[in-house]
Structure 1
Amino acid sequence: MAQESRIDVALALKEGQAEPGSAEVAELAATLAPEVWFAGALERSEGGGRQADVVWDLSGTYKDKTARGKAAVYYANPKLGLRRPFVFADGFNYGPSDLPGLFAYFNTPYDGKQGLFDQLLGQGIDVVLLGFEERHTYIQANAEVAIDGILRVIAERVGDERLTVGGVSMGGIVTRFALAKLETQKVDHQTRTYLSYDSPHNGAWIPLILQQLAYFFEDVTPAGPDGVKQADLIRSPAAQQLLWAWVENSKYSGPVATSSPLRKEFLEDLRRFGDYPAVPLKLGVSNGRRDGVGLPLPAGEVAFDWQALIASATARFQADRGEKQKIGGMHLGLAVRRSTTTDVPALDGAPGGTLDSFGKVADALKAKISDDFRSGTFVPSVSAAALAFDPVTWDVVPTLSITDADLENGHLDEVAFDTDNHEHSHISGGLIDWIVARVGR
């Protein structure tokens, strides 16, 4: 029987050090970034933007909570109306969607070619972007917003051309859930093709030591705009549901694989709806490689080591399985915490779409870090490709060289991989060409 994937935190008092005074704590707080850790913004393309022809307000209800969002509609020909809809949902982040930014980003020109959306619009395909008022809320809630958007598209459509529906990152999970639920409810979603863009079908990864650091230093970090604190994204419902391994605070010892009740509930809801929509052709792309070649990050080695007068933080790359493997530690005043993991794979260096998670935390602490160590894997290729493995136990080798047979046994009909392990949601010419060829056919 396999061991339980878990974390253990040893608590101790730092010898020879007094409890820091208010002035020392204030000095430390002044050096820490008052912002949500792990959040980011898509880099807008120069000249890639365009004003939407119309914007719809959307909403949905989940657990007596009303979730809201918007759909930005870009007509291929405004005189003809909405005829060939391509519906694409925004992904995981904190706060509201920036739909103009999403359009500009995915419309980035490449290799002397127009961007994705300009190519689709040029083929007579209308683009509908789905955004959410709270990207960090429950996936089920934003799936209700997506359902409202899909049904609005069907109602507004001229003719009977079937839809393409999908999204980037969490947006691919939101629309997967929405389509599967509609099928279970016997509602015709009129969708021919489903598309996920580097979506974490079996879970995403943010290093456990970095999650702990977000919680640990939060109490002495001033809140950002609107009272937002640095661990608000990592503790959000969406993070709990998307991350394969999650911890609830910096002191937590115990299981980490699907440890949040919210992830358990989300996976159960997915199972009730058949896991994936059955009707449409299911396409997916991964920003990682398929040949098993990951990032050159030494498992178990120090990524950065930060020392201040009254505080410190050490972050190691995730060790590969094993028992009581060191992943780092932290201290503030007298409190010292050292963390180890058992049977957790070395996911930082797995093939996949990357996130500059180590870099973001090092920058927030003003710690020195090598450029080579800034980014680790966020969405492993085996997850973006929706291979057939257990999303709870992760009974898969993250560095698997993915064969055609693996894909045939997986949950998607066709999958394209990047030429290297690029940043999560990266615009790669080969991936965009692949999408245009299949959506436009």
Structure 2
Amino acid sequence: MSEEKPPSEEQVREALRAAPPLTLGSGPVEPVTTAAPEPSEVWPLPLGTAWVYYGEGNSGLTRPVILADGFNSGPSSLNDSWDYLDRRDYAFLTALRQRGRDVILVGFNERSASILDNADAVEAAVMRAVATRLGDARLTVGGFSMGGLVTRYALARMESRRIDHQTALYVSYDSPHRGAWIPIALQSFAHYIRKLNSAFSDQMNSPAAQQLLWQHIAEWQDQPATSKLRTEFLSALQQVGDWPRIPRLIGVANGVADGTGNGVRPGEPAFEGKGLSVLGSKLFTQSPGDRQLVANLRVVTPPPAKEVRTSGLPGIDGAPGGTLNSFEILANRFNALPPLLGFRSAAPIPSHSFVPAVSAVAVRDLDSDDNLYVDIDSLSPEESELDDFRCASRNEGHTRITEELCTWIMDRLPY
């Protein structure tokens, strides 16, 4: 194949089918091969699995801490979860067990399934922990990212049904209580390449993604709006009281509290196609204002590129909060393809704000720069829907496991 002759769509489809799926999510990009420690127990759950690790010195379930997995495509992996939560910057699971806490990791058969459905797995795990623990220590229940919303809904639903969950503390770790953000530029690109490979588009259109995302598009040319599935999810939350009322509610954010952004400026090129098959494709960071250009789309097809424009959105990519390296993931996936396919790409801006700090600590909506960049420290604590929260000392990766945030949580666990 000469450099001047682009590959056919069928060649591209075959290459993309053979490559790892192009999907976004926190945690490992590639599957982890190092095995997690052998669990003390494994519980089959409706729509999921719980992996149980007794705390040090415990001969059975004694002081349970239930932690639910976050969003991605496909099933939860114990190896991936253990690697992310205990072998990176801070060994959170080990620290919990050293304090005599039993760790129960709740995974889902399909992480992109509806939050309302996956709440069944959490409810089953809570009931089994209550039934099998030794003694009467009350539970801690929460989760990472989407897992914080699944557990929030599950506990509130149990209370609405008069089920005693015996939970003293609810914990969310960078959970998008007011919504998460994937740039419209990236969503449009995902849908634009659907006929070549649908994995990215399928993920963006999955039930959980639509429930989590503050703004969503189902087709590349759509205008961003609140998904019907998100509206239904928020209504279901409201029907069970929005939050559980019995436990104390705490949460942490991987973004700062003082309103300082992450340095990403609006209207800047974040992804650029360099190879012949994607030359002309360019994704920009979100700009406020009317008819702002956020993407030029061209993949394999002849030029010119298709334009995507938005109106009325804030400069959210640079907002303080937990970041996701979505542009970098896209460029890396393309650069891993055979060079002759012409997919060489660059990501001059690798990351964007994924869960703004105001969302993680439930103080403001995401619809304006004034809300996104507010000095949270200057607000009355009553503005948060949480009883207590902690923001990170810098803007960092979404659900990054740090000693700063984890020790703050552990110091608030019930006795």
Partner of residue 54, structure 1 = 41
Deviations 1:35-87 (A, max 9, x none): 1321454389999942110100001xxxxxxxx10111111257631111101
Which residue is 2:210 aligned to? 240
Q: In structure 2, what is the equivalent of residue 315 of structure 1? A: 283
Q: Show CA shifts across 1:367-409 (max 9, x none).
A: 44356x101111100000111x457x56962111112534322
- CA shift for structure 1 position 125: 1.3
Q: Select the residue among 313, 320, 324 that pairs with 1:344.
A: 313
Q: Which whole-Å CA distance do the structure 2 matches of 1:122 and 1:78 have between them?
A: 9
**1:362 aligned onto 2:331:** yes
Q: Is the contact made by 2:319 and 2:373 (CA closer than 8 Å) also made in structure 1?
A: yes
| Residue number in structure 2 paired with 1:4 | none
Matching residue within 421, 426, 434 for 2:408:
434
Paired with 2:272 and 2:79, the residues of 1 have a C-alpha distance of 39
- For residues 157 and 424 of structure 1, do their structure 2 counterparts lie closer, same or farther at Cα, with a shift above 3 Å needed? same
Matched residue, 1:325: 292
Deviation at 1:109, TM superposition (A): 6.9
Q: CA deviation at 1:220?
A: 2.2
Look up the equivalent residue of 1:88 and give its one-letter code. L
Shift of 1:122: 1.9
2:49 — aligned with what?
Answer: 70
Contact kept? 2:322, 2:397, Cα under 8 Å: yes
- Partner residue of 1:208? 184
Task: Read off the aligned partner of 2:234 and give its amino acid letter.
Answer: L
Q: What is the rounded CA distance, in whole Å, between the counterparts of 1:80 and 1:39 in structure 2? A: 36
Number of equivalent positions:
398
- Which secondary structure state, in structure 2, belongs to the residue aligned with residue 129 of structure 1? strand
- Contact 1:193–1:439, Cα closer than 8 Å, also in 2: yes
- The residue that corresponds to 1:8 in the other structure is none
Overall identity of the aligned pairs, in %:
38
List alignment gaps of at least 5 residues for structure 2: 336-343
Helix, strand or coil: the match of 1:299? coil
SS of corresponding position for 1:247 = coil
| Cα displacement (A) at 1:105 | 2.4
2:59 is equivalent to residue 86 of structure 1: no
* Alignment correspondent of 1:305: 272
Q: Which letter does structure 2 place at the counterpart of 1:318?
A: Q
Distance 1:23 1:306 in 2: 15
Task: Provide structure 1 residue ranges, at least 5 long, that are not aligned to the other structure.
Answer: 1-19, 60-67, 222-227
In structure 1, the residue matched to 2:249 is 282
**Partner residue of 1:229?**
199
In 1, Cα distance between equivalents of 2:370 and 2:248: 25
Segment of structure 1 superposing worse, 167-176 or 24-33: 24-33
Structure 1 CA distance for aligned equivalents of residues 240 and 137 of structure 2: 25
In 1, distance between residues paired with 2:80 and 2:9?
38
Distance of 1:269 and 1:158 partners within structure 2: 34
SS of the equivalent of 1:439 reads coil
2:95 counterpart of 1:108: no
Shift of 1:27: 4.8
Question: Quick one: which amino acid aligns to residue 314 of structure 1?
Answer: K
* Secondary structure in structure 2 of the residue aligned to 1:274: coil
Aligned to 1:417: 391
Aligned equivalents of 2:109, 2:254: Cα separation in 1: 26
SS at the partner of 1:131?
strand
Mapped to 2, the partners of 1:379 and 1:337 lie a distance apart of 29
Q: In structure 2, how many angstroms separate the alpha carbons of the residues matched to 1:240 and 1:417?
A: 26
For CA contacts below 8 A with separation 6 or more, give which structure has more relative contact order: 1
Given that residues 385 and 407 in structure 1 are in contact (C-alpha distance below 8 angstroms), is that contact kept between their aligned partners in structure 2? Answer: no
Distance in 2 between the 1:117 and 1:273 partners?
31
Distance 1:128 1:28, change over 3 A: closer
Equivalence for 2:233: 266
Q: Which amino acid aligns with 2:324?
A: L
Match of 1:220 in 2: 196
Report how far residue 257 of structure 1 moved: 3.3
Would the aligned equivalents of 1:48 and 1:109 in 2 still touch at CA under 8 Å?
Answer: no
Which residue does 1:155 correspond to in 2?
131
Match of 1:175, SS state, is helix
Change (3 A) 1:45 1:108: farther
8 A contact 1:169–1:200 mirrored in 2 = yes
Contact in 2 for aligned 1:310/1:333 (Cα 8 Å): no
* 2:338 counterpart residue number: none
* Deviation at residue 99 of structure 1 after TM alignment: 2.2
Query: In the alignment, is the contact (CA less than 8 A) between 1:49 and 1:107 conserved in 2?
Result: no
CA distance in 2, matches of 1:120, 1:327: 44
SS at match of 2:376: coil
Instruction: From the superposition, tell whether residues 352 and 79 of structure 1 become closer, same or farther in structure 2 (CA, over 3 Å).
Output: closer
CA drift at 1:296: 1.4
**TM-score, normalised on structure 1?**
0.84
Which residue matches 1:14? none
Deviates more, 1:25-34 or 1:343-352: 25-34
Q: Secondary structure at the match of 2:371?
A: coil
Which position in structure 2 is the counterpart of 1:65? none
C-alpha contact 1:299 1:318 (8 A) present in aligned 2:
yes
Report what 2:8 is aligned to: 24
Q: How high is the TM-score relative to the length of structure 2? A: 0.88
Kindly provide the amino acid, as one letter, of the partner of residue 39 in structure 2. Answer: A
Q: 1:77 to 1:245 in 2, by over 3 A?
A: same
| 1:137-156, Cα deviation, whole Å (9 max, x unpaired) | 00000011111111111111
2:22 pairs, out of 27, 33, 36, with 36
Distance 1:410 1:358 in 2: 31
d(CA) in 1 for partners of 2:69, 2:296: 35
Q: Which residue does the alignment assign to 1:249?
A: 219
Q: Give the 3 Å change call, closer, same or farther, for CA 77–360 of structure 1 in structure 2.
A: closer
Give the deviation of 1:274 after TM superposition: 1.1
Shift of 1:161: 0.8
The residue type paired with residue 92 of structure 1 is F
